[in-house]
Structure 1
């Protein structure tokens, strides 16, 4: 997209091409209203350092755009991260008790503490019902849900994390805020918001 923007400014032309979009279901824990004009679907891994680096950027996006943006979190634990699968499941077990985002933030703040015992300790610290959380995590209740998210991500072209789809427009990696806001502003303009 930056290539086309460079051409537009250099030659004073206006590009009318519709950006490439990939349909990705916006299912999963979310912040923001369902009817928001912009939906960001994030595929992420709790053990990925680049995913942790993207969090402040996404927080800035939510602060700037408020209810114009809905952020949906989908699981994409990478095989190279030993604790990522169980961390993904733990976030969904926490979601059962209405504490997905609290668990999300806690895990990303301390990515070295993602072994099962540490996840159970985090749940207790967050005030979750420990027995219900531990049963959920130990049973693998959400292993298939995590697999479904990974399959959806892979089908959409995700091969690493973080990966964002902003109204279907793919952005790969922990990119600067400006790159994300440029796409959001364009999407809002296209929708007349």
Structure 2
């Protein structure tokens, strides 16, 4: 007859082996579940924020990471954030680019829809970045008169600009962004997406560097 002490000696290694096998099985299933979730999330968000024809692109088109920003020229926070992102692009030109989506939400002292129309038309002439910098620097006075001055300053072709402004193109671009913002439940600007995930704006270049672990 096997003594209880001997039974303990026999069964303890067996129990340990069973626990080890069970742990390995559960661990593998958990890892597989995580991988499946990552694949699901990635595949279901690929086209969540489309990059459309006419969207201004700032920086290197071949950069590894697209930073998609929804901004309004009448927004002080947007002016501050665009300055930080410009610094990021200047310091890391091969890593990032910015896809800009103008979302006019301000109406005082001037409705920002007109400045966004000018911006999209400036982009058609390859002068968006120059327009953006001056418009944000003067965002307290974006009257029609000042928009014309900005256009002259950055040497936009007057006829091309006039034809563009009187076409459906800028209205369609603004409507595209408004519809997309509605779909994404964007409630304020600036709103920033990286890898199709909304991220909080940073308050310094160092903040963005920390976010990207640079």
Change (3 A) 1:166 1:93: same
Counterpart position of 1:59: 86
Of 131, 135, 138, the residue aligned with 2:163 is: 135
Of 50, 57, 74, the residue aligned with 1:30 is 57
Give the direction of change, closer, same or farther, for the CA distance of 1:145–1:118 in structure 2 (3 Å limit): same
Out of 156, 162, 167, which is 2:190 matched to? 162
Structure 1 residue 79 displacement after superposition: 4.5
Equivalent positions of 1:1-193 (< 5 A) are 23-27=48-52, 28-81=55-108, 82-139=110-167, 141-173=169-201, 175-185=203-213
- TM-score normalized by structure 2? 0.70
Q: Is the 8 A contact 1:53 1:174 kept in 2?
A: no
Quick one: distance in 2 between partners of 1:44 and 1:106? Answer: 15
Give the TM-score taking structure 1 as reference length.
0.76
Say which one has the larger Rg.
Answer: 2
- Consecutive unaligned residues of structure 1, counting only runs of 5 or more, are 1-15, 187-193
Structure 2 residue ranges without an equivalent (≥5): 1-33
C-alpha RMSD of the superposition = 2.5
